[in-house]
A and B are shown apart, each in its own frame.
Chain A
Amino acid sequence: NAGVTQTPKFRVLKTGQSMTLLCAQDMNHEYMYWYRQDPGMGLRLIHYSVGEGTTAKGEVPDGYNVSRLKKQNFLLGLESAAPSQTSVYFCASSYGEGSDTQYFGPGTRLTVL
């Protein structure tokens, strides 16, 4: 099992450009999450999904959109990138029951110039 994978690993954008980050999991997890990590602030939840076809806003959703068309994939979109979106983005997934442990991907480092 690959677990949780993210593509790309690194990306540099200019202000105003758009891009999509892809997260894939092969553990048949119901729940998937997108976080951003900034220095000294821990991880903050952007959006999450509790099942195929569902999405919900997290703590810092502005400027981002998501889609969960397939159970194994969770896409994070930036329609018009801003320098404030420079961050490391992590995807996670979980079963959604029991201890509900979240398993994390390796991260995507995004720089917006």
Chain B
Amino acid sequence: GEDVEQSLFLSVREGDSSVINCTYTDSSSTYLYWYKQEPGAGLQLLTYIFSNMDMKQDQRLTVLLNKKDKHLSLRIADTQTGDSAIYFCAERYDYKLSFGAGTTVTVRA
């Protein structure tokens, strides 16, 4: 598989913005994804971005893609306690997804 890297932990105060970063290696990736995993649950798709886009916004979520640097970020505005979870970045290659190790986001009051 391809290598996808993300920082492992992020702590953020409730109401602040969270920014989760990810780097990937396959320049031919067509889609990049952000998934959320809550404790004891499966992965839930949050959003995705097509590789010819620079930005995608969906309510509180903003995805930025820098293809030149192979860098993807997810910004969560007005972070809430329900946003505490593990966030996975993934890139698509062939029919498959390659996942990062996940960023654990902890929201503190």
A48-B95 contact, Cβ under 8 Å, with A40-B101, A101-B33, A101-B48: yes
Q: Which residues of chain B from 1 to 46 have any CB-CB distance to chain A below 8 Å in the complex?
A: 1, 4, 8, 31, 33, 35, 41-45
A-B contact count (CB 8 A): 53
Contact present for B31 and A41 (CB under 8 Å):
no
Contact present for B8 and A101 (CB under 8 Å):
no
Bound together, the chains give a CA A42 to CA B88 distance in angstroms of: 8
Contact present for A100 and B8 (CB under 8 Å):
no
Give the chain A neighbours of B101 by CB distance below 8 A.
Answer: 40-42
Give the chain A neighbours of B50 by CB distance below 8 A.
Answer: 99
Bound together, the chains give a CA A43 to CA B88 distance in angstroms of: 9
Measured as residues with beta carbon below 8 angstroms from the partner, the interface class of chain B is 20 to 34
* Other-chain residue from A31, A45, A90 in contact with B43 (beta carbon distance below 8 A): A90
Closest to B43 in A: A104
Interfacial residues, chain B to chain A (CB-CB below 8 A): 1, 4, 8, 31, 33, 35, 41-45, 48, 50, 88, 92, 95-97, 99-102
Bound together, the chains give a CA A104 to CA B44 distance in angstroms of: 7
A-B residue pairs in contact (CB < 8 Å), sample of 30:
A4-B42, A31-B95, A33-B97, A40-B8, A41-B101, A42-B88, A42-B99, A42-B100, A42-B102, A43-B43, A43-B88, A43-B99, A45-B1, A45-B96, A50-B95, A58-B1, A59-B1, A99-B48, A99-B50, A100-B92, A100-B95, A101-B33, A102-B45, A103-B45, A104-B42, A104-B44, A105-B42, A106-B41, A106-B42, A107-B41
Shortest C-beta distance, A89 to chain B (Å), equals 11
